Amino acid sequence: MNHHSGFHTHRTVRSRARRLLSSVLATSAMVLGIAGAGSAAAEADTVIDTIPVGDGPAGVAITPNGTRAYVVNDFDDTVSVIDTATNAEITTVPVGDRPFWVAITPNGAGAYVTNATDGTVSVIDTATNTEVDTITVGNGPREVAITPNGTTAYVPNILDDTVSVIDIGTNNVVDTITVGDEPTGVAITPFGTRAYVTNAGDDTVSVINTATNMVVDTITVGNRPFGVAITPFGTRAYVANGFDNSVSVIDTLTNMVVDSITVGNIPFGVAVTPNGRRAYVTTRSDNSVSVIDTGTNTVIDTIGVGAAPTGVAVTPNGKRAYVTNREDDTVSVIAIDKCLGSLCLDFGSLTGSGSGAASTFS
């Protein structure tokens, strides 16, 4: 046997490494117990939790720090506030009549909720979770999107073919833009220069110059476009076409459709991960989410969720997707990475699911 001191040092280092790994795994078990996950290893793109919410959940948005999810309950005129650490509803906020969608300001201070029946937008103070303002917009407001600088909100009004432009500083409508037939979805480019609005009634997307609030282009897409999302670099827009079970891919430099992807039945909501590699599309009639690889524009996975999935939002760290299930009053939580319950480990780096040494826990 080799008794050289170098061998003992090497063995000691390896022993310490094993103890460190054991400590991490023990901590993992402890965290799983504390978080109440209690689940075995979950493969990537797996539902790891189901959260009861209000009646008819539709839109969902997540705060910039990732700690809260706001879920709009269409049929009981409330917004459920979910703690993403525990995946529990911590409060509900009364809003207007038939609320449908929600967007949160980049600083996380306000949540803007469209109320379809009374033609208003409710403003929620996220610090107190109370409604602090109500803004009158057009007829039948649907979705809402806020510019990256937090100054302006764009609201498509499905019943009068317009988009209301809200100044967030004053909570006043400062402009009204005429677009296509039955505008529904809206997304804004990362630099805030363009807004893309889906027009479900005429199968087009209106492109708005946000500096002038003028429509500068109209793009023909699939049948009954609903949701739209734009990649983090702003080069592509993904449009869910509800009545032909496809997603149109728009090149935002040319405003031309460059691809069409077959997905599940009645696609509605779309969200793209922060790294831009995947798009998650809710498909309402088959109770699933189609996962698109944006590099190849192919469906690489299909995830079963609750009944009539509608809205979808991805956490800022890209580790979770929250999906509203309109017909069973729940939210499905999808682990985008492979996880052990609430703990996600990157075994390639042993630093966790993020990129830094402090990101062991997701």
pLDDT digits (tens, 9 = 90+) for 29-46: 333 333 333 344 568 899
Which single residue is written with the structure tokens 């966790």? 352
User: How many CA atoms within 13 Å lie on the side-chain side of 309?
Assistant: 30
pLDDT digits (tens, 9 = 90+) for 63-83: 999 999 999 999 999 999 999
Question: What does the pLDDT read at residue 125?
Answer: 98
- Paired strand residues for 33: none
The two tokens of residue 229 are: 């999302």
Pairing of strands 339-340, 41-42: antiparallel
Q: Is the pLDDT of residue 338 over 80?
A: no
Confidence of residue 337 (pLDDT cuts 50, 70, 90): confident
Q: Are the C-beta atoms of residues 45 and 335 closer than 8 Å to each other?
A: yes
Mean pLDDT across the stretch 162-169? 98
Range with lowest mean pLDDT among 6-15, 97-106, 308-317, 349-358? 349-358
pLDDT digits (tens, 9 = 90+) for 240-274: 999 999 999 999 999 999 999 999 999 999 999 99
Rg (the chain; Cα; Å): 22
Question: What does the pLDDT read at residue 343?
Answer: 55
pTM of this structure: 0.84
Distances (CA, A) of 164 to 135, 167, 178: 10, 10, 9
Ramachandran assignment for 196, one of left (phi > 0), alpha (psi -120 to 50 degrees), beta (any other): beta
Q: Is the pLDDT of residue 334 over 60?
A: yes
Hey, CA dihedral for 349, 354, 359, 362, is it positive or negative? Answer: negative
Question: What does the pLDDT read at residue 126?
Answer: 98
Amino acid making up residue 22 = S
Q: Are the C-beta atoms of residues 196 and 216 closer than 8 Å to each other?
A: no
Mean pLDDT across the stretch 84-102? 98
Q: Is the pLDDT of residue 283 over 80?
A: yes
Percentage of the chain beyond pLDDT 70 is 81
Distances (CA, A) of 221 to 11, 193, 198, 217: 64, 21, 9, 13
| Angstrom distance (rounded) from CA 349 to CA 172 | 49
Confidence of residue 21 (pLDDT cuts 50, 70, 90): very low
| Angstrom distance (rounded) from CA 149 to CA 166 | 13
pLDDT digits (tens, 9 = 90+) for 196-249: 999 999 999 999 999 999 999 999 999 999 999 999 999 999 999 999 999 999
Q: Is the pLDDT of residue 24 over 80?
A: no
Please give the full DSSP string across 4-55, using - where no structure is assigned.
Answer: -HHHHHHHHHHHHHHHHHHHHHHHHHHHHHHHT----EE-SSEEEEEEE-SS
Question: What does the pLDDT read at residue 340?
Answer: 53
Mean pLDDT of the chain: 86
Higher pLDDT, 2 or 78: 78
